[in-house]
Amino acid sequence: MRVIETIAELQTLSDRERASGATIALVPTMGALHGGHLSLVDEAHKRADRVWVSIFVNPAQFDDTSDLSGYPRSLDNDLERCRAAGVDVVFTPASDEMYPAADPTWVEPGEIAQFLCGRSRPGHFRGVATIVAKLLLAAKPHYAVFGEKDFQQLVVIRRMVCNLGFDLQILGGAIVREPDGLALSSRNAKLHPQARRQATALVRALDAAQSALESGERDALRLLHSVTAEIAKAPLARIDYAELCDPHTLEPAPARLRDSTLLALAVFFDPPAGVEGDAVRLIDNRVLQLRSDSHDADRPRD
């Protein structure tokens, strides 16, 4: 496995691999690798001859400096996990390699970045779009793989790649979960044990909505009520948002659901009273599928 730190070296290697006829799949990460990241590596192996992973904690996508400074970093362990997973190249640039100019150029995503996380994290998706564009230009991959847990990020990146004419395919990898249903996240390790137990409220809320939908419920407000009621059972939880929206445009769903609909959640989990520490923000989602019956059978499916 080769570790590369500069854009120039990565581009040179990409040119050589492409000239030989090899295909490249890139898995962009911010490190602290877990089973969810490794599932994306597995997906990349299915698609390409060469699998590359980038590890870069991108300062431009953090709206809170304490969140940036506290983000988990474990490069040595990450490299070992990449080696064991058969990764060919790991790109580990420094910040001044990715942002060399005093007056940087930004990629500004459109309205799609204003929904969901975009409302509570101003500038976040500008940072995401910019660094992903830089990584794609550095690696020149045929494929790039992103996790569906960050559903809005995946949609924003697909829109950017289409709008700017990048010559590659963006692939989505399914959410990987703990045995109790909690979506794998680098942030899970920051949860207080009591908050960790309560964090399964997210997947229970997703299950409650899907169950209600399968029972015939189509009213968006009543579905959301079932979601918030489930999360309210976790005393340490504070909802940032719980929204139903179109899975392609992220626009709010109609009052009565007619097609498959994204349920997106962002919830803060506070430490217990008297315990020092920061709240941990977790996200989760599910594309709710309408039951196929006489009313819905002729509607298009995702």
How far apart CA 1 and CA 22 sit, in angstroms, is: 16
How far apart CA 261 and CA 244 sit, in angstroms, is: 6
Whether 131 and 153 have beta carbons less than 8 Å apart is answered as: no
How far apart CA 114 and CA 249 sit, in angstroms, is: 11
Whether 176 and 35 have beta carbons less than 8 Å apart is answered as: yes
How far apart CA 126 and CA 128 sit, in angstroms, is: 5
Q: Cα 251 to the chain's mean position, in Å?
A: 18
> DSSP character for 215?
T
Among candidate residues 37, 124, 142, 192, the one labeled active-site is 37
SS3 call for 196: helix
Please say if 37 is a catalytic residue: yes
User: What is the residue-wise DSSP string for 73-104?
Assistant: --HHHHHHHHHHTT-SEEE---HHHHS--SS-
Token pair 């692939």 is found at 171
How far apart CA 208 and CA 101 sit, in angstroms, is: 49
**Catalytic residue numbers?**
37
